[in-house]
Structure 1
Amino acid sequence: MSKTIFAVFLCCFSCCINNTFSQTCQGSLGDPVVHIDFGRGDDTFGPELGSNTKYQYIMSNAPADGYYTIKKKIDRGDPWHFISNHTPDDPDGYLMMVNASYSPGIFYETIVTTELCANTTYEFAAWVANLMKSGGIKPNITFQITTINDQILSTYNTGDIPNSVESTWKQYGFLFTTIGNVTQVKIKIVNNALGGSGNDLVLDDITFRPCGPKISTSIDNGQQEKIICENENTSITISANVEGSANLRYLWQRNSGNGWVDLNNETTTQIIIPAQTLPPGNYQYRILAAEINNFNSPSCRAASSAVTIQVTPSPKPIVVSQQNVCIGNTINLDVNGTADSYSWTGPNNYRSNLKSPVIENASAADAGTYQVSIISKGCSAIAQINVSIIALPLAEVDASSVSICEGTSVTLHASGGSSYKWMPSEGLSATDIPNPIASPGITTVYSVSVSNGVCEAIKYVIVNVFRKAEADAGKDRSIIEGQSITLNGKVSGDHVRYFWTPSNFLDDPSKLNPTASPPQHITYTLNVWSEEGCPGSTSDVSVKVYKKLEIPNTITPNGDGINDVWNIAALEAYPEAEIKIVNRYGERVFSSASDAKNWDGKYKGVNVPVGTYYYMIDLHSGQKIITGSITVLR
């Protein structure tokens, strides 16, 4: 079944395309007013053509002579070409495949239902391909356009359609003119060759296009394409030069990508377009022309070739409108997006071609307006940023260094701003006030950031913490009468001084470790104080002085009253003393009781044998145990 599509513009092309016309329109062609493409669908085979052909319809990949099929593509292979339907961008479209009958004759005939214009010339065209790769009978076709009453208006014979190595669609065409009041015509397609081996062909995309006056169009007197920038403040003139009847009517059309749209108010051979009215995109313009009486029928209109206006989007640079920079800091200029080129200008004849230039160590002279001009795809745009240079706050602190004693505090003072930030926070009563109380445990460097709301300056305060003066006189000591001892004094803290009291029997009371030689018990005090005025401290050490012992090394316990008892002079000065005497075998023969400190040479009331014995005396005075030997004689 044939299908007619009105006012649809189709570019016809395929794998290999040739055009053969018996006549050529000397003017301009309109859009196809008749288009027979045999339909489209999801199925492999399309519907039969009914009365439009006397051939037999068959759903087959290889119709016999006198048969035809409607199919998306021919994919049988040898001896035929693989070939798809011709309609561009229509994979679901169908073609007509014909295996010609043994006898020549009409194999396609249809009445064109589209109302044509009287006394108007049209181009007839159809796409045909010989299916045979080589050899065989070659198709030979005659196209006829007749009136409804079979009066021939025009005819065209293709001659033998040759074989080709590759599948080749070929367009055949000619002109015909409707006569008198003829507005309806027939299409007849005749097979002139015999059937048998060969004479196999495919047919697709039969079209009528009105042939009108010769029209040439141009933009601004010569251009077929013009590229402009979005919002460009200019006007574009498109003119048409028409060669033909003086009794013509015109209408301009525009295609913005969704098909041709009439510009109903543009009916002269010139159109003026304000460029700023066109959003970014591609725009095609053409002019339609037809006799005044026929103009309202799309079947009568010829169309010029299209001219194109390409509107390139203007770049849209975005920068921050205001940047506040503190003196001495960095000015960071930047524009978003990408462009082909950048050009910055600013105060002090500033110039830069970078996208994001940097100005180091900003000064008051750098304040002002900076402008960036960018170019993208030939279009330019400008943006501005105002840079203000803000003076730093006059930050002050009362003192850059203060000293305190350990465990005390001091108030720090900063000024010159509207807000403050102290660091570190350890030891501070607050970090966001100008005068916090500082109580650090160790010497600390504090920084204070003084801000005026935009800029900040930093000052530093060292809080020196002097450690407490601490004294340690050491452990209590003991000596034997006549001995000397070194005192183990220790001090800690910063900038400390010290001395011992009393100074009696000390070799130098200003020394930390003086030598003491007291004749009797005494207590010394180590006095420590700080040169920084921090509190001092004292510590005492007791030195006990014990009598010197005279220990006999021989006794003669024979009862003559002379040297019968081992008696240690001055032992009574050591009431806690313990004595132990053992024989040479380590057997104890004497140990002192709390009162008995003398040995009479007996063990359990019996005289011990003459010989050498050994003693150990623990005075419990902090001194080492005294040891030695004693000889018993009789």
Structure 2
Amino acid sequence: MSYIRVILVLLCCLLYQAVMASHIAGGEIYYRFLNTANGVSTYQVTLRLFRECTSNGPQLNGEVVNLGIYDNATSQLVRSVNLPLAGAVRTIQLNASRIPCISGDTLVCYQVAEFVNTIVVDNNTAGYTLAWGRCCRVDRLGNLEQGSGVGAMYTTQLPGSALVNDRWNTSPEFNVRDTSLVCAGKSFSLDFGATDADGDSLSYAFTDAYNGGSQSPNGPPPATFTTTPLMYAAGYSGVLPLGPLVVINQVTGVISGFAPGNIGRYVVNVTVTEWRNGVAINRHRKDFVLKVGDCSFIEAVLSPKINCNNLTVNFENESTSSTIQSYRWDFGVPNSQADTSTQPTPTFTYADTGTYNVTLRVAGADGCSATTNTTVRVYPGFNPGFAFNTLCYRNPIQFTDTSNARYGTITARLWNFGDLSTLADTSNLANPTYTYNSIGSRTVVLQVVSSKGCFGTVTKTLNLEDAPFIGLSPDTLMCRLDSLQLAPTLLGANYTVQWQPAQFITNPTSIRPIVFPPADIRYTVQVTEGACIGQASILVRVINNVTLTVNRDTSICSTDSITLFAAGNATSYRWEPANAFSNATVATPKVAPSAPNNTYTVTAAVGRCIATAQMQVTTHPYPLANAGKDSFICSGTSMRLIGAVQANNFTWLPAVGLSNTNSLSPLVAPINSTQYILSAIGNQGCPKTVFDTVTIQVIPPVSAFAGNDTAIVEGQPLQLFATGGETYLWSPATWLNNAAISNPVLRIPVGFDSVRLRVQVSQANGCFASDDIKVVVFNTAPDIFIPTGFTPNAGGRNDVLKAIPVGIQQFTVFSVFNRYGQVVFTTQDASKGWDGNFNGAAQPSGTYVFMAQGVDFIGRLIQKKGTVVLIR
């Protein structure tokens, strides 16, 4: 029996999950006033419910709608009314084929059902709220913290006699235009407008959507009406349901902007406020789940631009469409053909100020295109700014708008005085005054607008004190022969001044008096500005003469620069000749002397007290180093470097291959190409070091080859073949047809058993090498000699079996066979032989068969066959 109970519980859970399955995509409750009599009024109420076509949740024709009617005065349930389904469930779907160049996910499809009934309510003062809750909305809601299992609550209001005392009300009804395509990250426009049968004024706003429904999705309404706003994810809210780039027009209800960049579903709730005679009588809501799809289309989007800085404007298509292949811009200059561009992000400089109509046409594949235009206003010379007259908080501060516009006039301004203690710290006057209540830092902001549409902001920080601002240096210096004007910096103009002591001063109440003390004295100034009083002092030091010291005479290298130093108590300096200095009026100027001997004079002054001094700067030329011309040598030879210097000392680096590093003409014999550096160190009074480099390229050794030693028969001519160079010289040249070529013909007279020849092989660069060849002469006919045996025991004698061709012009083959007829060795090179191994294994002692073949010098085929004995 317990198993049956468990199964029943599981079945109930599964049935409940099916009932609770997510499917709701939006809804709206609206009503129409029918009549009123005997203290009661009759309305026709409709719940319009939306469901995604692809939802796997319950169908709309199975919904049970129990509408709750609540008294606005108590929020208590008055009664529940069932709204039955009226008519068939209909489908609305976007016809994407009518949108050119669209690609990606374009399915926008909803099922719509209306549930309708008549309600009768008592006429009252506060009115009623109509509400219906249901679980659950569709899943994967991108702008909510909880993306699934979220309920919905739809409401509207019946206004009471306190709001509509002249006649009763019919609510607005939102237009059913919910199949607009919204692509992630793309611009869009969605009409969320409504109509009102009474002709009341309507205003629109994004507001919080409500959670609703219970564990019994079609259960009775709760006894008390409460609302629970949805919990939005970071970056979203009821007033920003699609993020900060999407807004709703308060007058038309059109939602527009750039959709979120992430695909998904987004809950959007629009509240339309119904106004009658300036009074809000109803707040009517439509809650809808908007699908943001993964799609793209050709799009051109431009916002109006204004440039108040210069005549150059940067342009960019604000659309993120990925299917655009070409751009065509027209920057709107009348009667011009040179104001166009095909760049994606062009920059255009207008010749004059004005307002221009800019057009952008973009195109994609298959002829798809889009066009838009915008206005661009170009009015440079707009400079926002302001000034103030005091930093003493005890007095009213006069602010002055100093903004100016080259084109147009300043038409509006807004001051924010940065007083955090009040909200009344703003003004739109041109030159307002403001009084702060304490010292401290205040950030003042002025925003200004011109008649051409230029907008600018300027910000300044005011460090408020309880005394007037007095800008006065702490001390100064003067000559006993002079007088001195004291000149403090003050803000504003409404102040009085008093200097103390009143001695040696022309006017102690003057802002800038002249003083003439005979000795050091400290003057104090007191400034009174309304309720603000401040003091500052300055020490006037009096001297009878100027002290001055300069550098000692020095020397530098020609073309170098040097910083001169003057020190003392002077307040001004003047160096001569002035044109020699980068700045002749500073104490430490930089100079680059050009002459060998240079005299510089400095005059130091404090008023009429003057002192002068001189210094000498002698220049010496830099040392000179010449390492010679780059060259080359043949490998294994040496050459002499030829260097030259004008210096106190010198040395060569590196020392490798050098005969003497302290000689200007050392012998070098580098193994590889080398760079030798000649360092010239110091020249008279110039201690600098200079360098010069010579590269010695080593030519690789010449690969002279006269040919392998060979043998001929008596009377046989032999053509030699030397390689490795460009020119050749054989010796002795006696029996050669031409000793100066690489391949001469040798004819050895009868009676010689061998000769040895040497060839010198040279390259074009002059490098050469020599090689010898030995020619053995046999007194026999052309033949190929094969030894009868060999001993491959690494003993150094008779280890390899070779064929010995004599009188053979072309050696074609030498092969050795074992007793099974298997080839154990073969070659076409007479210089190679058999070492007694086959496939890496030593062959056994025994008799082997050989075959050798060649062509003699008169073209006859010479063949030799026989046996050879391998002995181990």
Taking structure 2 as the reference length, the TM-score comes to 0.25
Larger Rg: 1
